[in-house]
């Protein structure tokens, strides 16, 4: 049975992604911000499916120390990890710094998933053909990465911070795919669509499509044989789609990777 980690799996697109993966016969490590939320989610999924294929893992992605602890939980439960779905995300309405001194939107949406993926590479390497799936957004087209001001000390806005983090997701995917090129592992990013989640309502107002639609492309990239050897690409509605011009800048992708590694060096 393949094992998949889904971050931010206790509600919204993440919960539906976990549910659909379980329906496909996979074991899912459901990540929540704390133990109680993760445990409640796993229990509910196991009741729904009358199986024990959901297991809880937890950690606040706004804390790099908790990301390290989360990775340790995952390595224990899955010495061989077939897929990570980097799904969790936040949309902040005001500029907040984490306890690590990082702007919170980029900390959760980018730094945490970069660190988690890097720490789980031994488990991914142990799987026959691992996949790293990262949920970006169409808003990445509006993003801008200033390597000298990743904390957005100048001109911070809620939408700007969010779109910048979503651009970082695509650049991370491109840089990771380059580093996985000589392995059987792949890395791809996606836009889930405009989906009626708490994040959408907090940042953009009401409306949005059902979460079942929002989970579709994540599940496709995590499971479909047709994309087993495709890497470094961006998908919308289960189709490879051109990313923004800035997201195709390999020099920027490598520079962001190097800057991120420098910031995270004491946790790697």
- Cα separation values, 266 from 17, 65, 70, 168, Å: 32, 10, 16, 21
Alpha carbon separation from 26 to 21, 73, 129 (Å, rounded): 6, 18, 15
Query: In the chain, what is the straight-line distance between the N-terminal and C-terminal CA atoms, in Å?
Result: 29
Distance CA 205, CA 253 (A): 31
For residues 231 and 181, the answer to whether their CB atoms sit within 8 Å is yes
Q: Could you say which of 91, 159, 162, 234 is catalytic?
A: 162
The CA–CA distances, whole Å, from 226 to 22, 215, 229, 230 equal 20, 18, 8, 8
Does the active-site annotation cover 159? no
Tell me how far apart the alpha carbons of residues 118 and 179 are, in angstroms, rounded to a whole number: 11
On the 0-12 / 13-18 / 19+ scale of CB atoms within 10 A, 49 is: middle
**Whether the Cβ atoms of residue 159 and residue 139 lie closer than 8 Å to each other:** yes
64 contacts 268 by C-beta, under 8 angstroms: no
Residue 48: which H helix or E strand, with range? helix 35-49
Q: Which residues are catalytic?
A: 162
């Amino acid at each position: 049975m393949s094992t998949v980690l889904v971050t931010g799996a206790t509600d919204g697109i993440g919960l539906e992604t976990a549910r659909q993966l379980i329906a496909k016969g996979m074991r899912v490590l459901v990540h929540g911000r704390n133990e109680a939320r993760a445990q409640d989610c796993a229990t509910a999924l196991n009741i729904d499916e009358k199986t024990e294929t959901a297991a809880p893992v937890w950690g606040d992605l706004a804390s790099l120390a908790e990301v390290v602890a989360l990775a340790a939980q995952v390595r224990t439960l899955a010495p061989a990890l077939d897929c990570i779905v980097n799904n969790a995300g936040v949309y902040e309405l005001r500029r907040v710094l984490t306890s690590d001194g990082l702007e919170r939107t980029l900390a959760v949406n980018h730094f945490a998933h970069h660190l988690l993926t890097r720490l789980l590479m031994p488990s991914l390497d142990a799987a026959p053909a691992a996949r790293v799936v990262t949920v970006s957004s169409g808003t990445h087209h509006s993003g801008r990465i200033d390597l000298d001001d990743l904390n957005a000390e100048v001109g911070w806005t809620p939408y700007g911070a969010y779109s910048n983090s979503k651009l970082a997701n695509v650049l991370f995917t491109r840089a990771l795919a380059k580093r996985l090129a000589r392995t059987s592992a792949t890395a791809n990013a996606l836009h889930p669509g405009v989906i009626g989640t708490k994040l959408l309502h907090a940042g953009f107002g009401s409306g949005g499509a059902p979460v079942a639609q929002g989970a579709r492309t994540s599940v496709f990239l995590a499971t479909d044989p047709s994309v087993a050897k495709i890497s470094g690409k961006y998908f919308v509605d289960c189709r490879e789609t051109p990313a923004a011009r800035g997201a195709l800048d390999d020099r920027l992708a490598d520079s962001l990777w190097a800057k991120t590694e420098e910031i995270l060096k004491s946790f790697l």
